[in-house]
Amino acid sequence: MAEEKTGNPEQYTSQGILKTVFSRLKRNENLYLAFTNPKVVFGISLFSAVLLFALLGPYFTEYGINEFAGIGSPASRAAPSGEHPFGLTMQGYDVFTRTVHGLRATILVGFVGGLIASFIGLIIGLIAGYRGGMVDEFLMGLTNVFLTFPQLPILIVVAAYLPYRGIIHMAVLVGLVIWPWTARAVRSQTMSLKNEEHVALSRISANSTPRILIEDIAANMFSYIFMVFILQYMGTIMATVGLEFLGLGPTRGVSLGLVMQHAVQSGALYLGYWWWGILPGLFLMLMIFSLYFLNTGMDEVFNPELREL
Amino acid sequence: MGKYFGKKLIIYIITFFIAVTINWLAPRFIPGDPVTSLLAQYQGPAAGRQMLETRLRTLFGLEGSLIQQYINFWANLLRGDLGRSILQFPREVSEIVKNNIIYDIAVLLPAISLSWIVGNKIGAMAGENEKIDRYIMPLFYGFVSSPYFWFAIIVVFVFAHSLGWFPTARAYGAGVRPAFTLNFIIVFLRHWFLPFFTMFLVGLGQWSIGMRNMVIYEIESNYANYLRSLGARQKLIRNYAFRNGVLPQVTGLAIQLGQIVSGAITVQVVFDYPGLGRLMYQAVQQQDFFVLQGAFLSLILMVLAANFLIDIIYMFIDPRIRLSYSEEE
């Protein structure tokens, strides 16, 4: 605070700003450690790059997702070129166009589905961990049941009967199935937090249970919840893409899984159209890869035991 | 230990119960009536349409009160009757499932167990060896970041198309008849290898990463430090760390099983390799709802059985559970 009051002229130069940013970050030790951890920095950079690619990609193509862009043999026109950086499909669609639009849809589903799953898991985990006893037994039984279920088959059976599936339908469907991971993780954190003094104090002050859960417990595992959200985001994306690949994705529009399903169904791999099957999935893989790094890095930041100092 | 098993068993029974209920609920309560959508494909005289509709309603068990329907559903199931395929009409679903599940087991059992064993070894090495950690682990992170089917696509492209080492599609060649001859076994193994290889590699990444993190944690723990201060050899500490790290990996195996089976569904589609996954995929495409439900239920049963097996194994290798058992006696 002191340096702001003196009105140091240096604070307006770029170096000065950087200095203030770092001094502020240093006050918040965790944030400082996060932004100086190479794994976190690498993860965030790669993730942002894929995100930017999905956001800006559509502005770099002149074709629509179902627009005929030209046709040719895999050896000549259909192969990746300056005009079609990701090549063409057998039907003459531009793979780049379909990839960026599909990636957008997949990221959206992952985000919404991840939020839903984290939310359900958070509530169940908080209540089970805080209440204990029979409530805990029941909720954890439920969690274990959902954990034993293979996710994709259950999603297939439900999705197969749905006549219309939008992006939000998909997100809700997947979110409703994959929450148990969060519930388990949040429960164990809650159990270790609920015996802390500040929670006891809050209880003596006659604060309501929801308030204690939100202000005294959930607020204290924010970093943890964030990491859980990342995991659920990854889980949603993996499950969604699997469904899309089986032809059970959104009924309208294009998705990454759908592009690859078409490639496999058309025998693209045997006919030499490798870009059609491999390039769309590459961005998905890079995104998940970056998040793994981000999560491992954050684990090091928030679990001092793992820190490499 | 009886309590440990009892609890697990209850969870498995509830899971199965929910799976059956989902099968029962799906055609009844999800918008989009399967009977209507099947009738839409019928192009014939109106009288035939009426007959077909009543026939389909009987097949789906849509007659009588809901409670009656639900009881009938269970009764049929417990008799082992999973219904008949709509497309290959007189064939029973249970027979179709039986013909497919062999291939799931043939691929998954060796792929999962081998990747688990080898992955644990590599992971334990990576936890100690800086070089392995630096060069192999990023590759493994790449493996686990890939959706199974995308990984399968790459494997098909590299090993089946570009190098041409292995055939794909079907479990054996079109003109070959299953027999106990050397020729057939070779053909079978050549078709089997790539689906197995894909599942193996992804699993390898998964278990290595898990074991690596576990070993790093164990080596820094108090008991390891104490052993070190006593002057114990590194090899001894490593052994203890490994034994402690293996236990969570067994639990992890039970938890990941659903994920792996889910991945196998898409892998079978890429390789066009038979199995319950490809069966489900075809059933979805052809709207053969009874095959879909039968395959779903069999998959769940398979996962539950495997889970139960892992529980038994866990009991044998975790001294805490084993010892509490002998104390009870």
Whether B200 shows a pLDDT value over 90: the answer reads yes
- B71-78: Cβ within 8 A, 24+ apart: B73/B20, B73/B23, B73/B24, B74/B20, B77/B20, B77/B297
A113 occurs within a structural domain: yes
Q: Which domain holds residue A150?
A: 39-61+86-306
Calpha distance B98→B82 (Å, rounded): 12
- Minimal Cβ distance to A161: which of B10, B34, B141: B34
The Cα of B255 is separated from the nearest Cα of chain A by a number of Å equal to 7
Calpha distance A248→B159 (Å, rounded): 28
What is the mean pLDDT of the segment spanning A84-90? 76
User: Residue B92, SS3?
Assistant: strand
Tell whether A21 is within 8 A of chain B (Cβ): no
Reading the block at residue B254, the tokens are 């039970």
Q: Of A51, A155, A174, A158, whose CA–CA distance to A116 is shortest?
A: A174
Q: Nearest 5 degrees, angle CA A114-CA A119-CA A122?
A: 120
Q: Residue with structure tokens 């996710």? A: A151
Q: Of A26, A27, A22, A35, whose CA–CA distance to A11 is shortest?
A: A22
Q: Of A230, A101, A248, A171, whose CA–CA distance to B266 is shortest?
A: A248
Average pLDDT value for chain B: 82
- Minimal Cβ distance to B150: which of A156, A164, A281: A281
Q: Nearest 5 degrees, angle CA A211-CA A215-CA A220?
A: 145
Residue A94's DSSP bridge partners are A88
Whether B116 shows a pLDDT value over 90: the answer reads yes
User: Residue B143, SS3?
Assistant: helix
**What DSSP designation does A11 have?**
G
Sorting pLDDT into bands at 50, 70 and 90, what band is A21? Answer: low
| % of residues, chain A, pLDDT over 90 | 10
Within 8 A of A185 by CB-CB distance, chain B residues are none
Q: What is the 3-state secondary structure (H, E, C) of A20-84?
A: HHHHHHHHCHHHHHHHHCHHHHHHHHHHHHHHHHHHHHHHHCCCCCCCCCCCCCCCCCCCCCCCC
Please indicate whether, in this complex, the C-beta atoms of B161 and A269 are within 8 angstroms of each other: yes
The CATH number for B96-328, chosen from 1.10.10.10, 1.10.3720.10, 3.40.190.290, 3.40.50.300, is 1.10.3720.10
Sorting pLDDT into bands at 50, 70 and 90, what band is A116? Answer: very high
Within 8 A of A139 by CB-CB distance, chain B residues are none
- Minimal Cβ distance to B303: which of A148, A157, A285: A148
- B318-322: Cβ within 8 A, 24+ apart: B318/B247, B321/B1, B321/B4
pLDDT in tens, A173-218: 899 888 888 888 888 888 888 888 888 888 888 888 888 888 888 8
Tell whether B23 is within 8 A of chain A (Cβ): yes
Which of A195-204, B111-120, B172-181, B244-253 is the least confident region? Answer: B172-181
What is the mean pLDDT of the segment spanning B230-255? 85
- The CA-based diameter of chain B, rounded to the nearest angstrom, is 90
Residues 150 through 189 of chain A touching chain B, CB cutoff 8 Å: 150-154, 156-158, 160-164
User: Residue B84, SS3?
Assistant: strand
- Minimal Cβ distance to A150: which of B146, B258, B284: B258
Q: CB count, 10 Å around CB of A285?
A: 20
Please indicate whether, in this complex, the C-beta atoms of B289 and A241 are within 8 angstroms of each other: no
Whether A75 shows a pLDDT value over 70: the answer reads no
User: Residue B108, SS3?
Assistant: helix
Tell whether A270 is within 8 A of chain B (Cβ): yes
Instruction: Tell me how far the alpha carbon of residue A44 is from its chain's centroid.
Output: 12
How much is the pLDDT for A2?
42
The Cα of A209 is separated from the nearest Cα of chain B by a number of Å equal to 29
Which of A127-136, A279-288, B49-58, B110-119 is the least confident region? Answer: B49-58
Residues 227 through 266 of chain B touching chain A, CB cutoff 8 Å: 255, 257-259, 261-263, 265-266
Q: Do residues A290 and A50 touch, judged by C-beta distance below 8 A?
A: yes
Within 8 A of A39 by CB-CB distance, chain B residues are none
Q: Residue with structure tokens 């769940």? A: B300
The Cα of B180 is separated from the nearest Cα of chain A by a number of Å equal to 31
Q: What global pTM score does this model have?
A: 0.83
How much is the pLDDT for B329?
39
More confident residue, B25 or B324: B25
With residue B211 as reference, give the H or E element that holds it.
helix B182-219
Whether A298 shows a pLDDT value over 90: the answer reads no
- Minimal Cβ distance to B300: which of A153, A263, A288: A153
Reading the block at residue B94, the tokens are 């249970």
Within 8 A by CB and 6+ apart from B286, the residues are B86, B87
Sorting pLDDT into bands at 50, 70 and 90, what band is A304? Answer: low
Whether B169 shows a pLDDT value over 80: the answer reads no
Q: Which CATH number covers residue A281?
A: 1.10.3720.10
Reading the block at residue A144, the tokens are 């274990």
pLDDT in tens, A219-235: 778 778 888 888 889 98
User: How many structural domains compose chain A?
Assistant: 1
> How far from B35 is each of A98, B41, B68, B321, CA to CA, in Å?
34, 10, 19, 51
Residue pairs spanning A and B at CB distance below 8 A: 155
A11 occurs within a structural domain: no
Query: What are the extents of the domains in chain B?
Result: 2-78, 96-328
The Cα of B48 is separated from the nearest Cα of chain A by a number of Å equal to 25
Which phi-psi region, left, alpha or beta, contains residue A173 (left: φ > 0; alpha: ψ -120 to 50)? Answer: alpha
Within 8 A by CB and 6+ apart from A256, the residues are A99, A102, A103, A105, A106, A241, A244, A280, A281, A283, A284
Reading the block at residue B122, the tokens are 């590599």
Reading the block at residue B233, the tokens are 């050899």
More confident residue, B184 or A11: B184
**Chain A residue with the nearest C-alpha to that of B293:** A157
More confident residue, B43 or A191: A191
